[in-house]
Chains A and B, each alone.
Chain A
Amino acid sequence: MKFKLTFWRAVFILIMGLGLYSTFVRYFHGLGAVSNMSDQFPWGLWIGFDCLCGVMLAAGGFCVIGAVYLFNVERLHSIVRPAVLTAFLGYLLFIVGLLFDLGRPWYIWHQLIYMNPHSVMFEVGVCVMAYTTVLFFEFLPNVLERFNLTAAIKWIKKVYAVLVVLGILLSTLHQSSLGSLYLIMPSKLHPFWYTPALPFLFFGSAIAVGLAMTIFESTQSAKAFGRHLELPVLAELGGALLVALWVNALLRFEDYFHRGMLGQIIRPSYEAYFLWLELALAFVIPIAMLSFKRVRLSPDGLYLASICTVLGFITNRLNVSVTGFETYVGHHYLPKWTEFSVTLMIIAMGFALFGLAVRYLPIYPQDNHVGQHHQADAMPAITTAVLGHAGD
């Protein structure tokens, strides 16, 4: 096969090229040269997006595992593997992102020996490490199956119940603790986002986004790999998403109500605009859409609603981590292009690895014959681009 430079391959190469340049700047000129972070804004895009959003976007793994293995919802069985793959890749890339953001990433292992049990960051760190290990074992059967190592698969199946319970326990802990991180800054974070309920809100949004991401990713890979779409599965997820969104919306309302903030959040202000954007994308639009059965039964409708949800909660986490500090700091923070480029590179790596895994591992065992020569035409072509790349 000859290498053909398609549009999406060019985009992928460009993203990786710029990303590598930014990586060079990061490790040879320091955080100050590569980012717009400062003593006033010690946490920027890499914490706000790569870490806070990254972990949320990878929540599909524990949501689907929980539904299928904990509650025995057999109907969702076909999406367990892609969901676990997404989660595993998500957490690996989260760690990659952390290696960029940490000032002294070569000491990341200090987490394991100099433990501070009072630190929320310590808890998040340990849970993420442990959960990534759990995900590795949940993912491992794919590889073992590929090489027909049945004995090893049997071993993992034996302990699968433990993996399932441990995975959900660890997810509950660190998904909520990402919110707890901000509890120590009541005087800095804007009251729209500072609330004692932060851990609950972060956990709730992780479930909603986990479901939305599973819908998004199933649709996306159906397009990219020419698989047929399992509409009943997606419709079921759409229904669950609607419930999750309502629960989240109720939590948010209760929180604002009990803190007497309802009057403030409807008054126009810099923060209010961002809050409205967040609430519209995360709640108003997707709830309105999913309330129609017609939308819940339409692949395009589900796809759009899930994208909207994901964007809404990304806005939420960026508000918590960036917008909410701007008034305290007294000026705005806008990431440098090199910060964006590292984030884009990490996302592109995610797409690429997902594509490779689907190509070489039995992620979609029912129809492993497809995806070989499929020519994708839409957005997911980044995945296909790398797929083709790997095959050349």
Chain B
Amino acid sequence: MSKALLYDATMCIGCKQCEQACAQQNKLPYDDQVAAEPVQSEHKYTVVLAKNDKFMRRLCMHCEHPACASACPVGAFHKTDEGPVVYDVWKCIGCRYCMVACAFSQPKYEWHSLNPRVRKCIMCPDRVLAGKQTACAEICPTGATKFGERDELIKEAQDRIRQNPSTYLPRLYGLHEVGGTCVLILSGVNVEEYGYPPSAKIGDTPMPEYTGRVMSKIPDFVPVWSLVLGGIYWISHRREEVAAAEAEEKNGSKR
């Protein structure tokens, strides 16, 4: 069973301790200046956004069927059994297809490095594997970010919506979006206001399916198309061969 994070925006007080814990966990610099940056970047994997005194976190969604993992030509991304989508930097060639492919635009790039890496939240895989929570969930003083089994978190989120229908919008973002994600978001306002892509736009189909439909045809296409091409070649050159053979036969019979 895969692990997940449930982020309840209504419980978030915007203290940004998750940002700081994330920076510490990933050995990134963190000061007032970084804290004030309202965007994710190669040195800020998660951000707490504020709008009208309401808060919203952004981080990698850890899709059940990650587009980045399917897009990467060298398989530098993969979905672990525990849930995190992780990145093997030593494989990466820097094509940045993962960045374009991600519906949530989560992978960021070290644009000013001479040996640049793709950077994103990797859901503390070492901690998760050791049975611990992610750094952001552990530090969260209000429990707005909660770590647990995905199935259990979904049940809990649905209970919260049922018990407080006036607080929450009746939706759990990430439950079905792009085939489901391991970051689930509960909120009183629409997540789209904070830059999340609209559910209707990204749909419930896992993104890798769109390319998979074509890629899966290639193993059949190659032999069939080779045969067709070879056949055309054979037919269009057959006439020449026949003519040549006939000419030779004539020469032979003369001798």
Contacts and interface: CB of A to CB of B under 8 A. Distances in A.
Contacts of A40: 105
A122 interface: yes
Interface string A102-132: 1111011011001111111111010000000
Interface stretch (A5-13, A78-86, A182-190, A220-228): A182-190
Given A43-B100, A118-B215, A169 B226 contact: yes
Interface stretch (A26-34, A290-298, A301-309): A26-34
Give the interface centre of A28, A32, A103, A118 by most chain B CB atoms within 10 Å. Answer: A103
Interface stretch (B3-11, B137-145, B157-165, B204-212): B204-212
B211 A110 contact: no
A37 B233 contact: no
Contacts of A101: 95
B204 to A, nearest CB: 12
Nearest to A170: B222
A118 B212 contact: yes
B47 to A, nearest CB: 12
B229 A180 contact: no
B87 to A, nearest CB: 13
Contacts of A196: 210, 213
Interface string B84-127: 00000001111111011101010011011111100000000000
A70 B236 contact: yes
A120 B211 contact: yes
A115 to B, nearest CB: 7
Interface stretch (A160-168, A262-270, A278-286): A160-168
B38 interface: no
A103 B218 contact: no
B95 to A, nearest CB: 6
A121 B103 contact: no
Given A110-B91, A118-B208, A72 B74 contact: no
A78 B212 CA distance: 41
B96 A42 contact: yes
Interface string A28-58: 1111110001111011000000000000000
A164 B233 contact: yes
Q: Which of A40, A115, A168, A187 has the most chain B CB atoms inside 10 A of its CB?
A: A187
Given A111-B93, A116-B72, A121-B95, A187 B114 contact: no
A315 to B, nearest CB: 20
A307 B80 CA distance: 51
- Most B CB within 10 A of own CB, among A30, A33, A118: A118
Contacts of B233: 69-70, 161, 164-165
Nearest to B195: A330
A185 B71 CA distance: 11
Nearest to A162: B230
A319 B247 CA distance: 56
B214 interface: yes
B112 A180 contact: no
B218 A114 contact: no
Contacts of B116: 30-31, 103-104
A114 B74 contact: yes
Interface of B: 40-42, 67, 70-76, 91-97, 99-101, 103, 105, 108-109, 111-116, 197, 201-203, 207-208, 210-215, 218, 221-222, 225-226, 229-230, 232-233, 236-237, 240
19 contacts: A37-B111, A39-B42, A69-B233, A70-B236, A71-B232, A72-B236, A116-B72, A119-B73, A121-B73, A123-B218, A164-B229, A165-B233, A181-B97, A184-B71, A184-B208, A187-B201, A188-B100, A196-B213, A199-B214
Given A102-B94, A120-B71, A185-B207, 7 more contacts: A27-B114, A39-B42, A72-B240, A119-B73, A123-B218, A165-B230, A183-B211
